[in-house]
Amino acid sequence: MDIAFALYDKFTALDLIGPYETLAGHPDVTPHFVAGDLSTVRCNSGLPIQPTTTFAELDRPDVVVVPGSPAWRAALDDEALVSWLAAVHPSTTWTTSVCTGSLLLAKSGALAGKRATTHWTTREALAELGAEVATERVVFDGKVVTGAGVSAGIDMALSLAAELWGEDTAKMIQLMLEYDPQPPFDTGSPEKAGPALVATALER
């Protein structure tokens, strides 16, 4: 099973690595880090990742994972990325995104008439791109699976693992990732964080 992890300038690292760590350890999986060419790609805080595959080389991945980015507006103008997403989506088994990656899927046409989620700051932008905006953490609509902001990629990928390999395997993956989250605060959603923290966040 070929899983394509799409890379682009200033993507958010955890968006990509949450699903990668959850899915790529399975013996059936061949992970590909796909970009326009093989030049090093830097995520938004500087992590340098070396692509393993170019868009031209991988035209029929089984699963696509699209991470988000704080620079999502610029990414929407990345013609090579968006046109590759449009080209590969018809033949995937699953097309997935994390965070603002859903905006890229929407731009590519993959979310037409689909329910999808995104980072809480970009719900309006997703609606403007034609998707039906959901606010759940993980949303399945047909073969399209979207996760909410950043850390939601782990939850998204565990749910996908259960579809791919069954619940027992997904539970095993969760145990080996020791995914028994204990956040030190309860501020992980705008509703929980409250209006003051949300206002400060939006000013950044």
Residue 111 Cβ vs its own copies, minimum distance, rounded to whole Å: 19
Among 64, 119, 133, 140, indicate the residue that binds its own copies (CB under 8 A).
119
From candidates 1, 2, 10, 44, binder to its own copies by CB under 8 A: 44
Our CA angle for 185, 191, 196, nearest 5°, is 80
Who contacts 143 (Cβ-Cβ below 8 Å, separation ≥6)? 92, 93, 94, 95
For position 182 contacting its own copies by CB under 8 A, the verdict is yes
What letter would DSSP give residue 117? Answer: -
The alpha-carbon radius of gyration of the chain (Å, integer) is: 16
* Residue 73 lies near its own copies (rule: CB under 8 A): no
Encoding tokens for residue 1? 């099973």
For position 18 contacting its own copies by CB under 8 A, the verdict is: yes
* 174 touching its own copies, by CB under 8 A: yes
The tally of CA atoms less than 13 A away on the side-chain side of residue 6 is 32
CA 32, CA 99: separation in Å to the nearest integer?
A: 20
Q: Binding residues for its own copies, per CB under 8 A?
A: 12-14, 17-18, 20-21, 24-25, 29, 31, 33, 40, 44-50, 52, 99, 119-120, 137-138, 148-152, 154-155, 158-159, 162, 167-168, 170-172, 174-185, 187-190, 192-193, 197-198, 200-201, 204
